[in-house]
Structure 1
């Protein structure tokens, strides 16, 4: 089933419906996700927040098409990806998702420009177009003047900007960031958050996975997980404020 206009059944860019994920470990059944349902509209900036063991990493892997659910449906940009084969998921990942990792995941011997070009290489984009698009992406994150530098010649914040440019260069449907400020000091982390704010205002769809309430508070919306279930869905400030306390009823409804 595929919806029209590049959206899921209800018109959202992302729609999860009753998602479960069960792992079998040593003969025991571990239910990492227990009936997750929510949607994300195009252009939204959403934090997925939860403590260790909450299920947020499992959910991130599903959102990033690195895994498939045990049951339930996941629509991404109008495609039901929940039952796709590994080869089909690889195509979706390359086309629809820009990944941003805590540890940057840059090739150490390549320049910033070459690192940013990498997703376009997998798409078979000609070299001249790759260079032009990589240059534009690096300029967008404020690193046009550092495109010929290698990762060991860049600061931590600059390396994360290269990683963000790499995620942007293929013009994906969403950017999926895993603890994007986790390896940065507070000042540099603030710079990266401000960059995410700029990308959000430019219309990009951002999903940030984090355990940090301060980061979630900067997002317009946050979805909190606990024991594999959504326990809060509200503004980032509300969910972060009540991270260790009961959430007011008006902030606890799903979206």
Structure 2
């Protein structure tokens, strides 16, 4: 698929545990186009975390092919892999991972500091990222002065500030109450309408149902790929939508 931002073909990740082979991911194939919002959904042990690590260039596959924005990921050296990860992927984690003594603005600037961006430019870009998530009036607050939802918005702004190709969100509502979690899902919806490609990793079918597309994993294999509401509804049934 020539227009795919992500192209995965027969991807496998196996581990040797106690002399036995654990097939954490076993022959997964799919494509994600630029501008899609896709949920990867499955219960514990389904392979979704393994897949997230591979898509995020945090691990390498045992076999198969993974292309990210045209780059053949498994052929890259460690330093090239790190560069690709930093340039192409913005991570959003369940636990926020903010520096507690830094302001929201300083936390969002951090990825740009590592890239050597000038102080003036990184401040302007961080302010714009915080504005895009509705936190213009909170940029000088520290994490302990923010609500859980506001802290997650800071984390999303930090993921956006480097202008990545993909937002990769791992259980982003896991530490939030249901109302605040709903606010974050609505924010992702708005960001997707602005053109951002978003991959949401979750164990919750109700969140997968909110996405235009969902991929369900069971025992390391895809058992459903189609409209989010339909895939969320099939449970663990081995149904694959064409």
CA contact 2:28–2:222 (8 Å) conserved in 1: yes
Alignment of 1:70 onto 2:62: yes
Distance across 1 between alignment mates of 2:24 and 2:79: 24
Any unmatched runs of 5+ in structure 2? none
Instruction: Check if 1:18 corresponds to 2:10.
Output: yes
- Post-superposition CA distance 1:66-95 (Å, at most 9, x none): 001011110001111122222111101110
State the secondary structure of the residue aligned to 1:130. Answer: helix
Verify: 1:197 aligned to 2:189, yes or no: yes
> How far does the alpha carbon of each residue in 1:143-200 deviate from its partner, in whole angstroms, 9 at most, with x for none?
0110011101100000000000000000000000000111100110111011001001
Rounded Cα–Cα distance in structure 2 between residues aligned with 1:40 and 1:82? 18
Match of 1:217 in 2: 209
State the Cα distance separating 1:245 from its structure 2 match.
Answer: 4.4
The Cα shift of 1:244 comes to 4.3
Q: Does structure 1 retain, via aligned residues, the 8 Å contact 2:223–2:236?
A: no
Distance in 2 between residues matched to 1:20 and 1:228, nearest whole Å = 9
Q: Measure the CA separation in 2 of the matches of 1:38 and 1:244.
A: 19
Residue 253 (str. 1) matches residue 237 (str. 2): no
What's the counterpart of residue 200 of structure 2?
Answer: 208
The equivalent position to 2:48 in structure 1, one of 46, 56, 78, is 56
TM-score of the two chains, using structure 1 as the length reference? 0.93
Identify unmatched segments of 5+ residues in structure 1: 1-8
Tell whether 2:143 aligns with 1:151: yes
Corresponding residue number in structure 1 for 2:180 = 188
Structure 2-normalised TM-score? 0.98
Number of matched pairs: 242
Alpha-carbon separation, structure 2, partners of 1:167 and 1:246:
34
Question: Contact 1:68/1:83 (CA < 8 Å) preserved in 2?
Answer: no
Residue 158 of structure 2, aligned match among 166, 169, 177: 166
